[in-house]
């Protein structure tokens, strides 16, 4: 089940027209692909092409129409893998908060520390201009929160102040980068800067990068393998299932689908003076009622348009992948 607030559900209704447009485009794309593939099959008298080929073709068609660059990776039932534009690297933006959470929890495991450890935060040292639901929730000069609270704000609401606090006082970017390199290929990612540093210099966002498959691999391992203590890993997974950001991206075409369980983390960049959006990202682990589980990573960079337009491309890809997998029986 998806858990969203009443306000969010109301916003979903307002965006319903946009979602309908996205879904219509996706259905047209699927129809064309199925028709094309059936014609090929009939002509050659051969079996249907592999699912991975169908996914690659359908995603590539969407990507080719994008006024920017899109990289996509799909891992199906922990076995079959599809990637499009995976040779490029993309600014992670807040997607790196998953990496941060895993590294921090691993460090706490090693030190025998609890996520219920209390942290006192001087409000004056927080950035009032950055995205921070935590600041809106607490107005006292000194805020007392547990590490669990900070992680939940970071993962479920993408709070930048909470992330900065943990990087400054608990585990820095270099230590985070080093731990993640034990989980996914070193060449597939880099974590060099905090949210605070990227906010001060937007170009630094490009130095916190990932390949789509690198991000998908980490999310997939998080949900299918034991990486840290069960208690902390379960906490991270549940926090991602409660993610409240970017519901117009991968989540958008799945909102009204029964039996679909989604956990995801978004990342968003800024629009520069030339009208170029640096990044609009989403990485999700999705389980369908037909027992198919898949990881989907979509990274958009240098997009000539606004956030809503970029999100529509992400949602379109999500809709096509879902439509193909929900009707597929995997061996």
Which residues are catalytic, by number? 94
Strand order in the sheet with 209-210: 90-91, 209-210, 189-190
Q: Whole-angstrom Cα distance, residue 101 to residue 166? A: 9
* CB environment 115-154: b (16+ within 10 A), e (fewer): beeebebeeeebeeebbbbbbeebeeeebebebebbbbbb
DSSP 8-state symbol, 203: G
- For residue 298, CA distances in Å to 13, 61, 145, 211, 246 come to 24, 14, 33, 10, 12
Q: Whole-angstrom Cα distance, residue 107 to residue 151? A: 14
3-state secondary structure of 65: coil
């Amino acid at each position: 089940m998806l858990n969203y607030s009443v306000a969010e559900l109301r916003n979903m209704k307002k965006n319903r027209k946009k979602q309908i447009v996205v879904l219509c485009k996706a259905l047209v794309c699927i129809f064309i692909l199925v028709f094309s593939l059936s014609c090929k099959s009939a002509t050659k008298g051969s079996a249907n092409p592999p699912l991975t080929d169908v996914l690659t073709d359908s995603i590539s068609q969407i990507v080719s129409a994008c006024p920017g660059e899109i990289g996509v990776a799909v891992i199906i039932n922990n076995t079959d893998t599809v990637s499009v534009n995976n040779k490029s690297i993309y600014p992670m933006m807040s997607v790196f908060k998953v990496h941060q959470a895993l590294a921090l929890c691993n460090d706490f495991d090693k030190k025998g520390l609890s996520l219920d450890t209390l942290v006192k935060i001087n409000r004056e040292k927080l950035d009032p201009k950055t995205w921070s639901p935590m600041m809106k929730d607490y107005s006292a000069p000194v805020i007392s929160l547990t590490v669990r609270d900070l992680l939940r704000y970071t993962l479920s609401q993408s709070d930048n102040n909470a992330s900065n606090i943990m990087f400054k006082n608990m585990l820095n970017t270099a230590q985070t980068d080093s731990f993640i390199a034990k989980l996914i290929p070193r060449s597939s990612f880099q974590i060099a800067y905090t949210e605070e540093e990227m906010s001060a210099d937007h170009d630094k966002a490009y130095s916190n990068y990932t390949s789509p498959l690198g991000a998908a691999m980490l999310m997939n391992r998080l949900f299918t393998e034991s990486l840290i203590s069960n208690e902390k890993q379960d906490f991270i997974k549940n926090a991602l299932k409660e993610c409240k950001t970017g519901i117009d991206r991968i989540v958008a075409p799945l909102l009204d689908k029964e039996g679909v369980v989604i956990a995801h983390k978004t990342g968003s960049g800024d629009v520069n003076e030339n009208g170029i959006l640096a990044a609009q990202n989403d990485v999700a682990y999705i389980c369908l009622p037909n027992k198919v589980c898949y990881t989907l990573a979509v990274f958009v960079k240098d997009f000539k348009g606004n956030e809503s337009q970029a999100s529509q491309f992400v949602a379109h890809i999500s809709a096509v992948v879902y439509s193909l997998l929900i009707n597929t029986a995997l061996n």
